[in-house]
Chains A and B, each alone.
Chain A
Amino acid sequence: MAEFRMPSLGADMEAGTLIEWKVKPGDRITRGDIIAEVETDKGIIEVEVFEDGIVDQILVQPDAKVPVGTVLATIRSVGAAPMPTADRAVAERMPVGAEPPVQPSLEAGGPRIPAPTMVPPASTTERRLRVSPLARKLADELGIDVSTVQGTGPDGAIERADVERAAAAKKAEERPPAPTPTPSPTTPEVAPTPEVPPRAAKAAVPEFQVRMRRAIAAAMARSNREIPHYYLETRIDMSRALRWLETENQKRTIKDRLLPAVLLVKAVAKALGDVPELNGYWIDDRLQPQEAIHIGFAISLRQGGLVIPAIHHVDLKSLDELMEVLHDLIPRVRAGRLRSSELTDATITVTNLGDLGVEVVYGVIYPPQVALVGFGKIVEQPWAEHGMLGIRPILTATLAADHRATDGHRGGQFLDSLNRYLQEPAKL
């Protein structure tokens, strides 16, 4: 029996209000299904389940506000009632992110950190194929068939790294042909029409803004209190990138055109591959680098406030796929309809204020992350190269990083890498 708990949807969330159940006892659910809606300071969040099974009992009713970690419902696996001991042994040996299957007591005051706490107990549905829940979730998201993945865990269990390798291999194979459509993480049940649903309209009232402001205040005050920031900035010549983008966009219809922002996000992901220490969390007095690169992309709300949803696995997505993600994500952010994984998974933040006149961004890191990359407006500036002075479109990129986790030298290498990738846009 698994427990579905009130998730922690951000560093400073302590409690959430259950708004609605999308399922009832006896319903069959699949990993990735949105089964409940929870209201937090960030809006109404659609909460996904990371497990196949059948809803057993609903323990918390709508409108109840409960602390993070409270068991909201129990889920039993399909067919069987309790988890057989043999499978439990397997589950316990699943190393990647799998928690011990049974945790009856509520860990009050447990770590209020994102991703890891979101991972539910290992499921028992798959007997022959041993796949960690995280690996399965990832595979679903990336459109990878787990039966084709070579597992390297205990007893050949498939772990997250295996799925990532498979996805990278698949990507490499697919490079020449046209970009594949984005593997949609969940069913597109959120209509992309910007018709504001009634609840979102309610969410936009000042009270909501007051609470969002308070949430931002708490996170940013904590950041400033705890994180010894250091800042680096570099000027990047964007003429190659913009020229490439222009040629590329000429071939495309309006719908498929790329924005410079996707080049930047992708280049950040690639540079993080070179300097992985900037991609992760500072938890328990040590740096915990994350393998997956989930970039929190800051999106401001016109009514005031800021939401930073995660774009998952940026390193494994093509520019077209990233564009599609933005087309899906931004309207949902504006309407206040995000999914739990999008609020919890970011491993680094990118903030792009280039739409305004801002040239340089000195960011405040979102804890427990250890870095934030800021981009300003691309402006024409005098640029000297090979003893010649010319006018070039220049982008100022900044890195705000946690000095506990990294030093300026590594930060400098990251910015150098970023620059290098932006000089070869066709390879992004």
Chain B
Amino acid sequence: MTEAQIKEVILKVLGRIAPEADLDTLDPDANVREALDIDSFDHLNLLIGLNEELRVDIPEADYGQLTTLAAILSYLSARVR
């Protein structure tokens, strides 16, 4: 899977969780939870969605690394086969 494809998956899952957000303008270095006003429940659903789509296991200890779009992308890119 290319990075572009992974990014597409991330945006798709985010779009399901925050359908009203304009993801095209989302700054890759912005804190996703703050930028999209995502609460802890939505955040968990984001990770569940990514896990289902990409089959990457994300331990809870790593949640702190997954704050921005860029960080999520690099985390997943390193792990997706």
Contact = CB atoms under 8 A, between A and B. Distances in A.
Contact of B59 (A195, A250, A255): A250
Interface stretch (B2-10, B23-31, B36-44, B68-76): B36-44
A204 B20 contact: yes
A302 interface: yes
Given A194-B19, A302-B18, A302-B20, A257 B40 contact: no
Given A254-B47, A255-B51, A196 B19 contact: yes
A246 B62 CA distance: 12
A12 B41 CA distance: 29
Nearest to A335: B19
Given A196-B19, A250-B59, A303-B20, A261 B40 contact: yes
B60 A355 contact: no
A326 B43 CA distance: 13
Contacts of A254: 44, 47-48, 51, 57-58
B17 interface: yes
Contact of A261 (B17, B20, B33, B41): B41
Nearest to A252: B60
Contacts of A354: 40
A259 B40 contact: yes
B40 A250 contact: no
Contact of A255 (B19, B20, B40, B48): B48
Range of interface residues on B (Cβ < 8 Å): 20 to 34
B60 A249 contact: yes
Nearest to B41: A330
A255 B52 CA distance: 9
B16 interface: yes
Contacts of A260: 40
A308 to B, nearest CB: 15
A348 B44 CA distance: 26
A261 B36 CA distance: 20
B38 to A, nearest CB: 8
A260 B40 CA distance: 9
Given A250-B59, A254-B58, A326 B41 contact: yes
A260 B58 CA distance: 18
A356 to B, nearest CB: 9
A257 B40 CA distance: 12
A193 B20 CA distance: 15
Nearest to A354: B40
Interface in A193-224: 193-196, 204
Given A204-B20, A254-B48, A303-B20, A259 B41 contact: yes
Contacts of A193: 16
A355 B57 contact: no
Contacts of B59: 250
A302 B41 CA distance: 13
A246 B36 CA distance: 26
A246 B60 contact: yes
Contacts of A261: 40-41
Nearest to B47: A254
B12 to A, nearest CB: 12
Most buried by A among B17, B20, B51: B20
Interface string A245-270: 01001100111010111000000000
Contacts of A255: 48, 51
A326 B17 CA distance: 15
A354 to B, nearest CB: 8
Contact of A259 (B44, B58, B61): B44
Interface in A340-360: 354-355
A326 B20 CA distance: 21
Nearest to A353: B39
Contacts of A259: 40-41, 44
26 contacts: A194-B16, A194-B17, A194-B19, A195-B16, A196-B19, A204-B20, A246-B60, A246-B61, A249-B60, A250-B59, A250-B60, A253-B57, A254-B47, A254-B48, A254-B51, A255-B48, A259-B40, A260-B40, A261-B41, A300-B39, A302-B18, A302-B20, A303-B20, A326-B41, A330-B41, A355-B40
Interface of A: 193-196, 204, 246, 249-250, 253-255, 257, 259-261, 300, 302-303, 326, 330, 354-355
Given A194-B17, A257-B60, A302-B36, 9 more contacts: A194-B19, A204-B20, A249-B60, A253-B51, A254-B48, A255-B48, A330-B41, A330-B42, A355-B39
The 7 closest A-B pairs by CB, nearest first: A355-B39, A254-B51, A249-B60, A194-B16, A302-B37, A254-B48, A355-B40
